[in-house]
Amino acid sequence: MKIKYLAHSSFLVTTESGTRILFDPYSPGAYSGSMRYGAIRDAADIVVASHEHPDHGGTDSIAGNPVVIHGLQLMKSAPRAIKDITLRAVPTLHDQSGGKERGENALLILEADGMRLCHAGDLGHVLTDEQVRQAGDIQILLLPVGGHFTIDAAEATRVMEQLSPRITIPMHYKTPDIDFPIGPVDDFLAGKSNVRRTDSSELTLPGPDALPATPEVVVLKHSL
């Protein structure tokens, strides 16, 4: 499995057999130009969005004639098996007010190559015991950490502890290319051991045996 960080909350995951799954593509220039990341040029076989906001649900312009899966529908239906992967969703919320502020959010679960990856979308709260149970055994966690619109650094740390992944990759944090009032990744990294900052936008895991014995946080550089 290869995980490529595009930008913001958008990742391209490529399985060992070559299936390309694109999570949460954004619309460049969204929110009156606040999203200054470059356009997504990567092709995909499957595009899945945790919710429909412009910084996560820009599914219309992705190359490759992909199957588009809307997470808010997926979390109300059976898992989807396509090619060599399975996708399902755990119902969560985009805020701590029962969805009254920002609506629903799908915790997206990908099973492929003998591993289970969770893309947490714009998760707005610490998980309940039932949500943790539904998520199951997560090896790779893509986790928002910037706060304001999502869980903040402290809450993200708690969610990481709840799901106990082997690898956590932070996302949805402040960079020079976004004007959102969110915190930097360093707020989440503060005080943590086993943090690995990379000079690459990609992480390759040949299989479950490649997962680290000790859980770690891996910071990828956005490619766009």
pLDDT in tens, the chain (224 residues): 999 999 999 999 999 999 999 999 999 989 999 999 999 999 999 999 999 888 889 998 899 999 999 999 999 999 999 999 999 999 999 877 777 677 799 999 999 999 999 999 999 999 999 999 999 999 999 999 999 999 999 999 999 999 999 999 999 999 999 999 999 999 999 999 999 999 999 999 999 999 999 999 999 999 99
Q: Is there a domain that residue 224 lies in?
A: no
Whole domain around residue 104: which residue ranges?
2-219
- Written as one string, the DSSP assignment of the chain is -EEEEEETTEEEEE-TT--EEEE----TTHHHHTB-SPPP----SEEEESS-STTT---TT-SS-PEEEEHHHHTTS--EEETTEEEEEEEEESSSSTTTTT-EEEEEEEEETTEEEEE-TT--SPPPHHHHHHH-S-SEEEEE-S-SSS--HHHHHHHHHHH--SEEEEES---TTB-SS---HHHHHTT-SSEEE-S-SEEE--SGGGS-SS-EEEEPPP--
Total domain count, the chain: 1
What CATH number did the domain enclosing 34 receive? 3.60.15.10
